[in-house]
């Protein structure tokens, strides 16, 4: 029982490392070759977990081989447009200039109801508001609304917006994010002064952030 437990933990760590090396895509954004490799890795890992009689190396070597395959295919995918088309396919336009392309729907085995469902997932309730709907190679649908239905931007209204930058975490669960302080050219003493304004020490904070305008948000931990 203990051996099975330890084998499972070890294989989990191996699979986790391999998946991290494969990149940061969400499952719904995986290309076909990436999804196939992910499924095979899961299957290869499960066999040594379930059967202690199978040497654990028999599961690790194929997993590493699939990682090598993934890296090679990714390099080919980046360097060759033709290979990219073969491996990943091409985006398909399901709605073109406000009209549903029935031939493309049939080719992609989509029903109108499925298209409407996907549009609702993009916060589009009325299909008549769509100018273009593009089925990406990952299976996601990109929607471009008709001009009169789009939410106006500040640029459309001729309003100049101030630069906001990105917020940085300075303290998370009582732990100081020294790397972010360094990026901001700040130190612990500066951080402590800012947090003391809220009546607490940095190690008592649940979260402390700073935005692009220099405004500090701080919340105290309610539990020790």
| 60 and 102 share one domain | no
Whether 169 has a pLDDT exceeding 90, the answer reads yes
Contacts of 63 (CB under 8 A, 6+ apart): 14, 15, 18, 41, 44, 45
214 domain-assigned: yes
Residue 187 sits in a domain whose CATH number is 3.30.240.20
Per-residue pLDDT reduced to its tens digit, 2-45: 776 777 777 777 777 776 776 655 555 667 777 777 788 888 87
Which backbone phi and psi does 90 adopt, to 5 degrees?
-125, 150
The secondary structure of residue 152, as a DSSP letter, is: P
| 134 and 120 share one domain | yes
Domain end: 42, 70, 86, which one?
86
CA dihedral 40, 45, 47, 51 (to 10 degrees): 180
Q: What pLDDT sits at residue 170?
A: 96
- Portion of the chain with pLDDT greater than 90, in percent: 41
Give the full edge-to-edge strand order of the sheet including 141-145: 99-100, 92-96, 130-135, 141-145
Whether 134 has a pLDDT exceeding 90, the answer reads yes
Mean pLDDT, the chain, integer: 85
Q: Are 143 and 101 in contact (CB under 8 A)?
A: no
**Average confidence (pLDDT) over 205-214:** 92
Look up the domain containing 133 and give its range.
Answer: 92-149
Q: What pLDDT sits at residue 74?
A: 83
Indicate the pTM of the whole model: 0.63
| 32 and 82 share one domain | yes
- DSSP run (H or E) holding 170: strand 168-172
The secondary structure of residue 51, as a DSSP letter, is: -
| 216 and 193 share one domain | yes
Among residues 190, 195, 149, 152, which one has the least CA distance to residue 171? 195
Q: What pLDDT sits at residue 210?
A: 94
Q: What pLDDT sits at residue 106?
A: 92
């Amino acid at each position: 029982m203990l051996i099975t437990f330890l084998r499972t933990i070890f294989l989990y760590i191996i699979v986790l490392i391999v998946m991290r090396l494969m990149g940061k895509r969400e499952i719904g954004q995986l290309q076909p070759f990436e999804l196939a490799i992910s499924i095979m890795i899961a299957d290869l890992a499960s066999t040594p977990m379930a059967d202690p009689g199978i040497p654990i190396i028999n599961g690790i070597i194929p997993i590493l081989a699939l990682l090598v395959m993934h890296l090679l295919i990714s390099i080919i995918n980046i360097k060759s447009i033709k290979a990219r088309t073969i491996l990943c396919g091409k985006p398909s336009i399901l709605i073109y200039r406000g009209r549903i392309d029935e031939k493309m729907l049939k080719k992609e085995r989509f029903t109108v109801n499925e298209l409407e469902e996907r549009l609702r997932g993009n916060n589009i309730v009325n299909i008549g508001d769509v100018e273009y709907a593009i089925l990406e190679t990952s299976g996601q649908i990109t929607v471009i609304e008709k001009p009169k239905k789009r939410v106006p931007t500040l640029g459309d209204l001729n309003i100049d917006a101030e630069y906001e930058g990105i917020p940085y975490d300075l303290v998370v669960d009582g732990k100081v994010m020294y790397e972010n302080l360094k990026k901001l050219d700040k130190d612990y003493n500066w951080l402590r002064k800012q947090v003391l304004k809220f009546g607490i020490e940095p190690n008592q904070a649940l979260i402390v952030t700073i935005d692009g305008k220099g405004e500090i948000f701080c919340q105290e931990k309610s539990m020790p």
